[in-house]
Structure 1
Amino acid sequence: MALSRILIVEDTPFPRAILQRQLQQMGYEVIAAADGTEAWEILQTETINFVITDWLMPNMNGLELCRRIRQHDFPRYIYIILLTAKGDKNDLIAGLEAGADDFMVKPCNPLELKVKVLAGDRVLKYEKTLVDQHRKLERAHQQISDQLETTASNLRLAAKFQKALLPTESATIDDIRFESMFVPCEVVAGDFFNFFKLNEERTAFFLLDVAGHGIPAAMLSFTLSHVISPDPFQMQGVVMGHTTYGYLDFTNPMALAGRLNQIFEVRSDGQQYFTMVYGIIDKAMEEVHFTQAGHPPIIYLPHDAPPKLVGDGGFPMGVFPDTEFEVYSFPFRAGDRLFVYSDGVTTCFNPKNEPFSTERFMRILDKHRKAPLREGLLVTKKELHEWRLSDQFEDDLSVLAIERAPREDDRDGPRAVDLAELD
């Protein structure tokens, strides 16, 4: 399909009329201008992308018109054929440098004119195709950018909701102090932890770590957070003496772990699973009872003895349907501390591919045993950043720190703890 309009610029009436007639016979609509100034005014108001202009004209010659067209930011490409009586190579070079696409020597041969115009027509059609494709790509890119921004916005909102589900960083239930650290490696995380009061003597806590990262891990973590963390209204039955809510017995770590494993094993494809520690602090017995499902051991820090690891791993949740979970116990008396954490802490690798290690973590906690509970977590976070040499981590980092408040008569002196009870 031919172009609809061509602007011809010729100061001599007769050659202008001949050129206009030839182009009209080829099927083009032709607009004529007597010089470059008139042509420039037309280009400001008319949609034209093909110009045939004489070189020598008053007011504004063809060379200057070419330069002005190329310097102006038109929304379309304008193809220019420069008519000249000159045949000198230097003149042709000057025309090309000014922005002309092609040349014709006057007087115009009708056959040559047709060939030159058709060639320019093909160039403009190709250019239009490229422009259309570019615009399609821009629209597609914008759509993708909008979708990415929507996704990012939704992820930020999901992260906000996820963080809102977590307990406050510092909390106290009776004489038990809780502090926490939560550093997702992506916008949303697969780690989750919580604690809640079962009755006047017992308080439950847990920390879980869903395998993988990002949205899939976060979705399972979100589901688990609702299953394992009943709200206060749901917990009224437990406080009043009933031991179960729904299908979970929150007062029995082993039974709870077994039931969770059954529930999520039938929904798992073997690729998505989670590890967990679920424990109960019994104030009357001054003990902690917990079950461990493929999770790192608890770090137990008596107030007057070195830290010790409790628990030996076990199988993760959602892998084997008939897994039996053990219950571990250790004393938890006034001034004692315990730390539950995800393996993202201890397996955090530095640029030399060396893990942060459980031993290094325990040394930090031991060194700051006399400081407030939060200080040990803040130092740990700082040490992890320095170890990693980056603010970005490969895995989610979570730590739940728990301290039994010292008794008034124990604040000034050490108290012996029989670590043999842990063996």
Structure 2
Amino acid sequence: MKAANIPLPTPDNASAPIRRRALLVGNSPDHSTRVAGILAQRGYLITQADHAEDALAICQDLTPDLIVSDWTLTGMSGLEFCQAFRKLDRASYGYFVLLTMNRDQDDLAAGLQAGVDDFLTLPVSAQELLARIAAAERILRIEDELRGSNTQLRAALAQLNETQTAIERDLREARKLQQGLVRERSGRFGKTEISLLLRPAGHIGGDLVGFFPISADRIGIYALDVSGHGVTAALLTAQLSVHLSGSSDQNVALRGAQSGGDAVGPTALAHFFNNMMLEEMNTDSYFTMIFAELNHSTGALRMVQAGHPHPVLQRADGSITHLGQGGMPIGVFDNPVFDEIHVQLAPGDRLLIASDGLTEATAPNGHQLGNEGLEAILRTNAFLKGHPFLESMAWSVSEYCRGERQDDISAVLLEMREDAQLVRLPRKPAR
């Protein structure tokens, strides 16, 4: 092996030197000297080799940017050398120029198939060689830029992956905290049983369900659905949960009871939240709500519907009724109209308050579950009670949309046991 490093001349143009390495392969001193001189003027570091095997060893050690090879070499042909060169494990591209005595079309096709980038006809013309070098430099410069961009992209991707991992970890913890907002998943008050379901579509969501005792024979029941998804909706849900907590000093509905009066009624509570959203919250979010007050001794139920899906009443005989007229969502209008509903529950009746994540669950064909699908679930699972019913309902919804659920689902199931003995309050005398 012969390796000759030719010193670089001082160029007239300071921007000319590229500082790339060129490998000249061949046993023709005249051609090599001429090509080496032209490349040196272009600022290349020059390395030369007589044999193909030596040249391959140099390619592994020095990774030249430009290779200029004779067609005929000792040990293998120029085409075979190019094929072997292309199989080397390199971090960057090497531009391969093959010197030939003629431009036979078959030879050119074979060279391109072997991985040759360009051809030069002997004897080498300085003008043609400079043109080929310019083309090679453009390719190498583009490859350098792409490699640099890929390096930056890989670094950015690695940083994004680290950030995503941290976000996923935080969201998992946020999910635990949000699930903790539903302090009790079920409750029994006399012969009345309440069961709750909360399933965010992602890590966290904007649905909230719950209940709390108002007095010895009354309980408050609520279901909220904040617009949107993710962190914004979850933060608003967390704030609303404070106003509906079991603590009497924070629960808005219980403030009246603190002073010896009655609890805030369902419609008044909806107006309170509407004013709070418009006057205190600097957000474009809004939410829908069902708030119900149940006297579990008498079965009397009054509730307000503020844009939330219609509660579904299933009587003991299996008949199903969708209650309410809809009402307006909370946090949109200055003077909203809410729908107040009064209904008398009897032993064996049950009331389902569900978010639109159930009725708007969409099958792959684009059809939504709708009220008819929800009624079918109620009838099919009529024999199930409490959490088994809610879990079966959630499974049915997931199967309907093939696991591609796009929205949170939440539900409150209120059941009057069949053996319940309800108190009959005396009617007020007519005036």
TM-score over 0.5 (shorter chain): yes
Q: 2:141 aligns with which of 106, 125, 138?
A: 125
Q: Which residue does 1:258 correspond to in 2? A: 271
Question: Structure 1, residues 256-310: CA drift from partner, whole Å, max 9, x if none?
Answer: 2222121112256895321211122323444333233233343344546744444
Aligned residue for 1:75, secondary structure, equals coil
1:390 and 2:406 aligned? no
5 Å matches for 1:172-211? 172-173=188-189, 175-211=191-227
- Give 2:324's aligned amino acid: G
- Give 2:116's aligned amino acid: A
With the length of structure 1 as denominator, give the TM-score of the two structures.
0.79
Closer, same or farther in 2 for the Cα pair 1:162/1:20, shift >3 Å?
Answer: same
Q: Which residue does 2:84 correspond to in 1? A: 68
Closer, same or farther in 2 for the Cα pair 1:307/1:15, shift >3 Å?
Answer: closer
Q: Is the 8 A contact 2:356 2:409 kept in 1?
A: yes
Q: Which residue does 2:291 correspond to in 1? A: 278
Q: CA deviation at 1:97?
A: 2.6
Aligned residue for 1:96, secondary structure, equals helix
- Give 1:372's aligned amino acid: K
Q: Which residue does 1:8 correspond to in 2? A: 24
Closer, same or farther in 2 for the Cα pair 1:290/1:50, shift >3 Å?
Answer: same
1:100 and 2:105 aligned? no
- Give 1:260's aligned amino acid: F
Closer, same or farther in 2 for the Cα pair 1:45/1:243, shift >3 Å?
Answer: farther
5 Å matches for 1:374-385? 374-385=387-398
Q: CA deviation at 1:146?
A: 5.1
Superposed CA RMSD: 3.8
1:318 and 2:347 aligned? no
Q: CA deviation at 1:70?
A: 1.2
- Give 1:38's aligned amino acid: D
Q: Distance in 2 between matches of 1:59 and 1:123?
A: 30
Q: Is the 8 A contact 1:190 1:210 kept in 2?
A: yes
Closer, same or farther in 2 for the Cα pair 1:99/1:296, shift >3 Å?
Answer: closer
Q: CA deviation at 1:209?
A: 1.7
Q: Distance in 1 between matches of 2:270 and 2:71?
A: 90
1:109 and 2:122 aligned? no
Closer, same or farther in 2 for the Cα pair 1:323/1:114, shift >3 Å?
Answer: closer
Closer, same or farther in 2 for the Cα pair 1:47/1:399, shift >3 Å?
Answer: same
Closer, same or farther in 2 for the Cα pair 1:384/1:90, shift >3 Å?
Answer: closer
Closer, same or farther in 2 for the Cα pair 1:407/1:115, shift >3 Å?
Answer: closer
Q: CA deviation at 1:334?
A: 4.9
Q: CA deviation at 1:120?
A: 2.1
Unaligned ranges ≥5, structure 1: 419-423
Q: Distance in 2 between matches of 1:116 and 1:291?
A: 82
Q: Which residue does 1:228 correspond to in 2? A: 244
Q: Distance in 2 between matches of 1:162 and 1:153?
A: 14
Q: Is the 8 A contact 2:190 2:297 kept in 1?
A: no
Closer, same or farther in 2 for the Cα pair 1:304/1:85, shift >3 Å?
Answer: closer
Once structures 1 and 2 are overlaid, which stretch shifts more, 28-37 or 371-380?
371-380
Q: Is the 8 A contact 1:170 1:178 kept in 2?
A: yes
Q: CA deviation at 1:369?
A: 4.4
Aligned residue for 2:113, secondary structure, equals helix
Q: Is the 8 A contact 1:202 1:281 kept in 2?
A: yes
Q: Distance in 2 between matches of 1:296 and 1:133?
A: 51
Question: Structure 1, residues 387-421: CA drift from partner, whole Å, max 9, x if none?
Answer: x443234543322102234548x7xxxx9999xxx
5 Å matches for 1:279-294? 279-294=292-307
Question: Structure 1, residues 73-126: CA drift from partner, whole Å, max 9, x if none?
Answer: 311111122223455443333333322222233343334333333332233223
With the length of structure 2 as denominator, give the TM-score of the two structures.
0.78
Aligned residue for 1:165, secondary structure, equals coil
Unaligned ranges ≥5, structure 2: 1-15, 426-431
Q: Indicate the percent of aligned positions where both proteins have the same amino acid.
A: 29
Q: Which residue does 1:36 correspond to in 2? A: 52
Q: Which residue does 2:415 correspond to in 1? A: 403
Q: 1:373 aligns with which of 386, 409, 413?
A: 386
Question: Structure 1, residues 195-244: CA drift from partner, whole Å, max 9, x if none?
Answer: 12234333221001223444443332232222222458867x96996269
- Give 1:3's aligned amino acid: I
Count of residues in correspondence between the two structures: 407
Closer, same or farther in 2 for the Cα pair 1:406/1:48, shift >3 Å?
Answer: same
- Give 2:140's aligned amino acid: L
Q: Is the 8 A contact 2:293 2:301 kept in 1?
A: yes
Q: CA deviation at 1:49?
A: 0.8
- Give 2:403's aligned amino acid: D
Aligned residue for 2:56, secondary structure, equals helix
